[in-house]
């Protein structure tokens, strides 16, 4: 159990800071308890309550219990007030205890400071104050944080006390997708920046054996338990000796009995002026600091000889030259690969804290949508192309894809589908109904019963994106046209889902290539063209830019990204090409 204090002068903002820290740390999944020290005569029970009557009658101890909470009140009757340690010993269900007051106690504290009292910060005289949260800039010997930046203060507290990674991801604010007043069109870069700054990891955490960690995202830094290599060892098969035995020119050294091998170290010390047979991976014994390669040695009659100078330390590996004990070997947010498991195992890590995969629900909407191909469908009905595409994208990105089916253009049906899955998934992707037309029931429903913000993003193909929270679950409403849904999923959903999963914000890597097409691009929208490279390394684009031409997605192996500004592109113009593999597919 960690203990951290909040202190300060009267009216400095202590209680408000404690209140906000409790809310923030609780939202991150930590169990928080508090202890408040009242300098004035304070009471937790008042005249007129049943428990007051019990105490007034002389009860030494009164326990009040209800379906909501229980409290234990003990009368002091002139005894000394219990110490902070005594009170802390009574708390048994908390990851961290926030203590308000008790400024003379020895636990670390942050000072809530406003200069309204005209008094100097306590940090100048109290060594247990390790930071100050203030409204103004101060020149102090400890870090000074913004009193209103609760998230940054919580980060400082958690790091200072070594609070373990949260078992659950942080929750998102209902207004996290809100746009500033008056904003209508949103440039692509602005939309991406808003998502990057407002989203936080929401995936739960679990602990796994290292051997089961491949493709999982680290929730906490992995620390080396032992160095790699754990001891100095030989990098080759050869002969080891002390470098000081060399005199230049041809060298001859008598061999000592025995040898050093991997897993079978030499017992004892190699005498000065002697050499030892040593094999690759064997621990370097005392008396040896250099190894000569077997192929460079003539061995006969119990001695070795070789020509030429040998540098001190040749063909040896130092202990910890790869990784030192206690070193961070892999940082949180990294998706573990086979090579990572090798390194973690080599440095003695047996288990890792990882994020559980996000569960991504995918819902298609529309009266025209058929769940799957059937014989002789009516001409006004179309098969659902978006759902299998989005489900497979989610799975490709390492998430658990959850099929939410197809819902008709009916608010009650869509609402029931969202309600049914809100407790089963971490994120919902919908396609269709994200605009503002008469039949756009997804956006209408999210606006009425959720916290919808309709983003008109300056992107082609695409434009309408519905961003909302539904019962605490983020909803990304993608366009209904398959090409637009595909492009918006790559551009917006992929980095957002990566961040929500705990793997950080992932942007695709592209490179400049000559264009093998011509185009007069209008200003105002960023465009993504279905493209592929020809055998000359030039970017060709699909014959049509229509959002319903799904065959173009099959034809393409990447996208050409054209900036927001107007452009005249001709054969040979350099354009940015992004392979689909760079989007993780």
Q: How far is CA 494 from CA 78, 174, 354, 553, in A?
A: 64, 21, 20, 17
- If you ran DSSP here, which 8-state letter would residue 237 be given? S
CA–CA distance, 192 with 188 (Å, rounded to integer): 6
Residue labelled with tokens 């957002």 = 496
Residues of the chain with CATH 2.40.340.10: 511-583
Q: What is the pLDDT of residue 72?
A: 85
Residue 304 has pLDDT above 50, yes or no: yes
Indicate left, alpha or beta for 162 from its phi (over 0: left) and psi (-120 to 50: alpha): left
CATH architecture of the region 511-583: Beta Barrel (2.40)
Nearest to 478, CA basis, from 499, 494, 501, 498: 494
Q: How far is CA 320 from CA 45, 281, 346, in A?
A: 61, 14, 11
**Residue range 260-276: mean pLDDT, rounded:** 95
For CATH 2.170.190.11, list the domain ranges present in the chain. 233-317
The tens digit of pLDDT for each residue in 396-433 reads 999 999 999 998 888 888 889 999 998 899 999 998 76
- Per-chain mean pLDDT for the chain: 88
The more confidently predicted of residues 73 and 526 is 526
Q: Which CATH number fits domain 2-161: 3.30.390.30, 3.40.50.150, 3.40.50.300, 3.30.300.30?
A: 3.40.50.300
Task: Give the model's pLDDT for residue 238.
Answer: 96
Over residues 301-309, the mean pLDDT reads 90
Taking every pair of C-alpha atoms in the chain, what is the biggest distance, in angstroms?
104
Q: Which residue ranges does the chain devote to CATH 3.90.105.10?
A: 209-224+325-355
**Residue 438: what pLDDT?**
46
**Is residue 522 pLDDT above 90, yes or no?**
yes
Separation between Cα atoms, residue 360 and residue 82, nearest integer Å: 51
d(CA 288, CA 386): 67
CATH class label, 359-500: alpha beta
Comma-separated ranges of CATH 3.40.50.300 domains in the chain: 2-161
Among 41-45, 126-130, 498-502, whose mean pLDDT is lowest? Answer: 41-45
Residue range 287-300: average pLDDT? 95
CATH code for residues 209-224+325-355: 3.90.105.10
| pTM for the whole structure | 0.70
pLDDT, tens digit, for every residue of 324-349? Answer: 998 999 998 999 999 999 999 999 99
| Range with lowest mean pLDDT among 82-86, 141-145, 176-180 | 176-180
pLDDT score recorded for residue 308: 77
| CA separation for the pair 365, 51 (Å, rounded) | 57
Whether residue 1 contacts residue 96, with contact meaning beta carbons closer than 8 Å, is answered with yes
Q: What confidence category does residue 446 fall into, taking pLDDT thresholds of 50, 70 and 90?
A: confident
Identify whether the C-beta of residue 75 lies closer than 8 Å to the C-beta of residue 60: yes
Cβ neighbours for 12, distance < 8 A, ≥ 6 positions apart? 111, 112, 113, 114, 116, 117
CATH-assigned architecture of domain 233-317: Beta Complex (2.170)
Q: What is the pLDDT of residue 496?
A: 95
Name 354's bridge partners: 206, 218
Lowest mean pLDDT among 156-170, 237-251, 490-504: 156-170
């Amino acid at each position: 159990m960690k203990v951290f204090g909040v202190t300060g002068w009267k009216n400095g903002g202590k209680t408000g800071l404690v209140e906000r820290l409790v809310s923030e740390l609780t939202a991150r999944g930590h169990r928080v308890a508090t202890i408040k020290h009242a300098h004035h005569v304070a009471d937790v029970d008042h005249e007129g309550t049943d428990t007051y009557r019990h105490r007034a009658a002389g009860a030494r101890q009164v326990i009040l219990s209800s379906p909501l909470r229980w409290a234990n009140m003990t009368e002091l009757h002139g005894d000394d007030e219990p110490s902070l340690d005594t009170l802390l010993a009574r708390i048994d269900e908390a990851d961290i205890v926030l203590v308000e007051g008790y400024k003379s106690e020895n636990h670390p504290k942050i000072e809530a400071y406003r200069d309204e009292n005209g008094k100097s910060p306590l940090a100048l005289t109290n060594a247990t104050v390790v930071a100050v949260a203030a409204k103004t800039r101060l020149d102090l010997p400890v870090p000074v944080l913004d009193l209103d930046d609760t998230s940054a203060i919580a980060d400082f507290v958690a790091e200072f006390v070594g609070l373990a990674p949260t078992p659950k991801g942080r929750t998102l604010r209902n207004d996290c997708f809100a746009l500033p007043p008056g904003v209508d069109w949103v440039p692509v870069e602005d939309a991406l920046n808003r998502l990057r700054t407002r989203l936080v990891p929401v995936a739960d955490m679990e602990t796994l054996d290292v051997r089961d960690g491949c493709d999982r995202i680290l929730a906490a830094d992995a620390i080396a338990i032992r160095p790699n290599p754990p001891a100095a060892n030989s990098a080759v098969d050869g002969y080891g000796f002390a470098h000081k035995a060399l005199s230049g020119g041809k060298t001859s050294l008598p061999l000592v009995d025995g040898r050093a091998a991997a897993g079978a170290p030499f017992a004892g010390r190699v005498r000065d002026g002697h050499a030892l047979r040593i094999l690759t991976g064997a621990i370097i014994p005392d008396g040896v600091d250099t190894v000569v390669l077997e192929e460079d040695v003539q061995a006969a009659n119990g001695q070795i000889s070789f020509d030429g100078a040998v540098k001190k330390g040749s063909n040896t590996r130092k202990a910890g030259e790869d990784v030192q004990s206690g070193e961070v070997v892999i940082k949180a947010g990294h998706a573990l690969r086979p090579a990572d498991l090798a390194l973690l195992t080599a440095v003695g890590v047996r288990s890792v804290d990882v994020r559980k995969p996000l569960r991504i629900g995918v819902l298609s909407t529309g009266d025209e949508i058929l769940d799957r191909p059937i014989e002789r469908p009516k001409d006004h009905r179309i098969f659902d192309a978006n759902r299998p595409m989005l489900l497979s994208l989610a799975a490709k990105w390492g998430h658990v894809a959850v099929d939410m089916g197809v819902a008709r253009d009916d608010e009650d049906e869509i609402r029931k589908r969202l309600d049914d899955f809100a407790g089963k998934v971490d994120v919902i992707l919908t396609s269709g109904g994200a605009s503002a037309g008469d039949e756009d029931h997804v956006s209408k429903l999210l606006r009425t019963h959720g916290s919808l913000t309709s983003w008109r993003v300056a992107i082609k193909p695409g434009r309408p994106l519905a961003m909302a929270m539904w019962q605490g679950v983020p909803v990304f409403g993608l366009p209904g046209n398959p090409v637009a849904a595909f492009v918006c999923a790559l551009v917006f959903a992929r980095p957002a889902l990566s961040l929500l999963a705990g793997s950080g914000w992932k942007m695709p890597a592209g490179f400049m290539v000559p264009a093998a097409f011509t185009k007069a691009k209008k200003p105002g929208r960023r465009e993504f063209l279905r493209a592929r490279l020809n055998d000359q390394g030039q970017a060709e684009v699909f014959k049509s830019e229509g959002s319903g031409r799904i065959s173009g997605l099959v034809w393409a192996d990447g996208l050409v990204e054209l900036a927001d500004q107007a452009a005249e592109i001709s054969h040979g113009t350099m354009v940015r090409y992004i392979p689909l593999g760079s989007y993780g597919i």
